[in-house]
Amino acid sequence: MASATLLYFVLTWSSVRVGKSVESLFNMKCQPAVGVIGQTTHISCSIDYFPISINTVVLTRSGEEKPCFTFQPYVNRVTGDSRFKVENGPSLQLHNTAISDEGEYWYLIRTSLGNEKVKFTISVTGKYSNPIITFVPEKIVNGEHADLYCSASGGYPAGTIHWFDRSNTNWTKSATLQSTQGNDGLFTLSSKLSFQKINRACAPYRCVVLNNKYEEEGENTFHLEIKGLFNMKCQPAVGVIGQTTHISCSIEYFTDPKPISINTVVLTRSGEEKPCFIFQPYVNRVTGDSRFEFKAENGPSLQLHNTVISDESKYTYFIQTNRGTDKVKFTISVTSKYSNPIITSMPEEVVDGEHADLYCNASGGYPAGTIHWFDQSNTNWTKSTTLQSTQGNDGLFTLSSKLSFQKINRACAPYRCVVLNNKYEEEGENTFHLERKDIPLHTPAGDSIVKNSIAPLVLIGSLIVGLLIVRLLKRSCDSQLKRVISLDRSVDFSKDPDDVEDEKALIEPI
Ligand SMILES: *[C@@H]1O[C@H](CO)[C@@H](O)[C@H](O)[C@H]1NC(C)=O
Ligand SMILES: *[C@@H]1O[C@H](CO)[C@@H](O)[C@H](O)[C@H]1NC(C)=O
Ligand SMILES: *[C@@H]1O[C@H](CO)[C@@H](O)[C@H](O)[C@H]1NC(C)=O
Tell me, using a 6 A CB cutoff, whether residue 190 lines ligand 2: no
Ligand 1 center to residue 312 CA distance, Å?
52
- In angstroms, how far is the first alpha carbon of the chain from the final one? 147
Q: Give the end of a domain, one of 73, 104, 125.
A: 125
User: What is the structure's pLDDT at 338?
Assistant: 96
Tell me, using a 6 A CB cutoff, whether residue 398 lines ligand 1: no
255-288 as b/e: b if 16+ CB within 10 A: eeeeebebebbbbbbeeeeebbbbbbeeeeeeee
Tell me, using a 6 A CB cutoff, whether residue 361 lines ligand 2: yes
Tell me, using a 6 A CB cutoff, whether residue 173 lines ligand 3: no
pLDDT, tens digit, for every residue of 392-420? 999 999 999 999 999 999 999 899 999 99
- Domain hosting 252: range is 230-335
- What number is the average pLDDT over the span 3-11? 39
Ligand 1 center to residue 171 CA distance, Å?
8
Distance CA 209, CA 100 (A): 24
Q: Is residue 10 part of a domain?
A: no
Instruction: Give DSSP secondary structure letters for 267-316.
Output: EEETT-SS-SEEEETTTTEEEE-TTEEE-GGGTT-EEESS--GGG-EEEE
Contact between 156 and 150 under an 8 Å Cβ cutoff? The reply is no
Task: Give the dihedral sign, CA 23/28/33/38.
Answer: negative
Q: Does residue 218 carry a pLDDT above 70?
A: yes
User: What is the structure's pLDDT at 437?
Assistant: 57
Q: Is residue 16 part of a domain?
A: no
165 shares a domain with 78: no
User: What is the structure's pLDDT at 228?
Assistant: 53
Q: Is residue 394 part of a domain?
A: yes
Across-strand partners of 320?
264, 325
Average pLDDT over the chain, rounded to whole?
82
Q: Does residue 258 carry a pLDDT above 90?
A: no
pLDDT: which is higher, 200 or 319: 319
Q: Is residue 419 part of a domain?
A: yes
Name the burial class of residue 415, with classes exposed (0-12), middle (13-18) and buried (19+) by CB atoms within 10 angstroms of its CB.
Answer: buried
Q: How many structural domains comprise the chain?
A: 4
Q: Is residue 159 part of a domain?
A: yes
User: What is the structure's pLDDT at 131?
Assistant: 84
Q: Give the end of a domain, one of 199, 222, 245.
A: 222
pLDDT: which is higher, 179 or 287: 179
User: What is the structure's pLDDT at 230?
Assistant: 80
Rounded to the nearest 5 degrees, what angle is found at the Cα of 164, between the Cα atoms of 159 and 169?
130
Q: Does residue 316 carry a pLDDT above 50?
A: yes
Closest Cα to residue 175, out of 160, 189, 193, 161? Answer: 193
User: What is the structure's pLDDT at 106?
Assistant: 96
Tell me, using a 6 A CB cutoff, whether residue 382 lines ligand 3: yes
Q: Does residue 21 carry a pLDDT above 70?
A: no
Lowest-pLDDT range of 8-17, 64-73, 272-281, 347-356: 8-17
pLDDT, tens digit, for every residue of 157-179? 999 999 999 899 999 999 999 99
Q: Is residue 156 part of a domain?
A: yes
Q: Is residue 408 part of a domain?
A: yes
Residue percentage of the chain with pLDDT more than 90:
57
Q: Give the end of a domain, one of 432, 456, 480.
A: 432
234 shares a domain with 213: no
Q: Does residue 156 carry a pLDDT above 60?
A: yes
Ligand 2 center to residue 472 CA distance, Å?
34
287 shares a domain with 323: yes
Q: Is residue 50 part of a domain?
A: yes
Ligand 1 center to residue 166 CA distance, Å?
15
Q: Does residue 198 carry a pLDDT above 50?
A: yes
Q: Does residue 72 carry a pLDDT above 60?
A: yes
Distance CA 208, CA 216 (A): 7
Quickly state the pLDDT bin for 110 (edges 50, 70, 90).
Answer: very high
Ligand 3: residue of 371, 379, 381, 382 to mutate (most ligand atoms within 8 A of CB) is 382
Distance CA 73, CA 55 (A): 6
Distance CA 182, CA 161 (A): 18
Tell me, using a 6 A CB cutoff, whether residue 344 lines ligand 2: yes
Tell me, using a 6 A CB cutoff, whether residue 243 lines ligand 3: no
- What number is the average pLDDT over the span 112-127? 92
207 shares a domain with 235: no
- What number is the average pLDDT over the span 284-290? 88
User: What is the structure's pLDDT at 438?
Assistant: 53
User: What is the 3 state secondary structure string of 28-87?
Assistant: EEECCEEEECCCCEEECEEECCCCCCEEEEEEEECCCCCCCEEEECCCCEEEECCCEEEC
In terms of average pLDDT, the best of 9-13, 62-66, 149-153, 460-464 is 62-66
331 shares a domain with 236: yes
Ligand 1 center to residue 162 CA distance, Å?
7
Q: Does residue 257 carry a pLDDT above 60?
A: yes
Tell me, using a 6 A CB cutoff, whether residue 173 lines ligand 1: yes
Record the pTM. 0.47
Instruction: Give DSSP secondary structure letters for 406-452.
Output: SS--GGGPSEEEEEE-TT--EEEEEEE------PPP--HHHHHHHHH
Closest approach atom of ligand 2 to CA 388: 5
Ligand 1 center to residue 318 CA distance, Å?
36
Q: Does residue 119 carry a pLDDT above 50?
A: yes
143 shares a domain with 52: no
Q: Does residue 386 carry a pLDDT above 50?
A: yes
Q: Say which CATH number the domain at 72 has.
A: 2.60.40.10
Ligand 1: residue of 165, 172, 216 to mutate (most ligand atoms within 8 A of CB) is 172
Quickly state the pLDDT bin for 375 (edges 50, 70, 90).
Answer: very high
138 shares a domain with 84: no
